[in-house]
Amino acid sequence: MIRDRGKIKWTSMMLPEHVKLLRDWVKEDRYEQKREMDEQQLELMNETLSEAIEFNQFVTITHYRNQNYEMVIGKIHYWDELTQKLHVVDRFEEVHRIRIPDIADIRLTDM
């Protein structure tokens, strides 16, 4: 019976530096490119943002962070015009500061 150990048999022949480089390479493959927004999408997001702030509603925000897209669900506490950041408080009372140019999508959410 052949008992193949898979990756285990190769790691003994590799230096730790090589293993780290391979892990970094796999992580880089998961990176996503930032998408460009057109005028209609920006206008729609602006309307949704204004409505969420005015009526204190929950929103789902998809934003670009660390070469990947992340989602945050919460209420918009305020918008800092000086730094161009939204301050969003999620349901665990954690504050997220999201840059306006990094936002890919905003949708109203029922909670």
In a domain, 72, yes or no: yes
- Is residue 84, in this structure, part of any structural domain at all? yes
List the domain range (segments joined by +) for residue 78.
57-109
Instruction: Give the amino acid at 58.
Output: F
pLDDT reported for residue 6: 62
In-domain check, residue 79: yes
Q: pLDDT (tens digit, 9 = 90+) per residue, 25-38?
A: 888 888 888 888 88
> Can you give the CATH number for the domain in which 100 is found?
2.30.30.520
Phi-psi region of 93 (alpha: psi -120 to 50; beta: other; left: phi over 0): left
In a domain, 75, yes or no: yes
Q: Is 11 within the bounds of a domain? A: no
Higher pLDDT, 58 or 66: 58
79-105 mean pLDDT: 93
Q: Does any domain span residue 12?
A: no
Residue 76 domain-assigned? Answer: yes
Element (H or E) spanning 46, and its range? helix 39-55
pLDDT at position 67, please?
Answer: 87
User: What's the structural domain count of the chain?
Assistant: 1
Q: What is the pLDDT of residues 38-63, one digit of tens each?
A: 899 999 999 999 999 999 999 999 99
Listed in order, strand segments (DSSP E) in the chain are 58-65, 68-80, 85-90, 95-99, 103-109
* pLDDT score at 103: 93
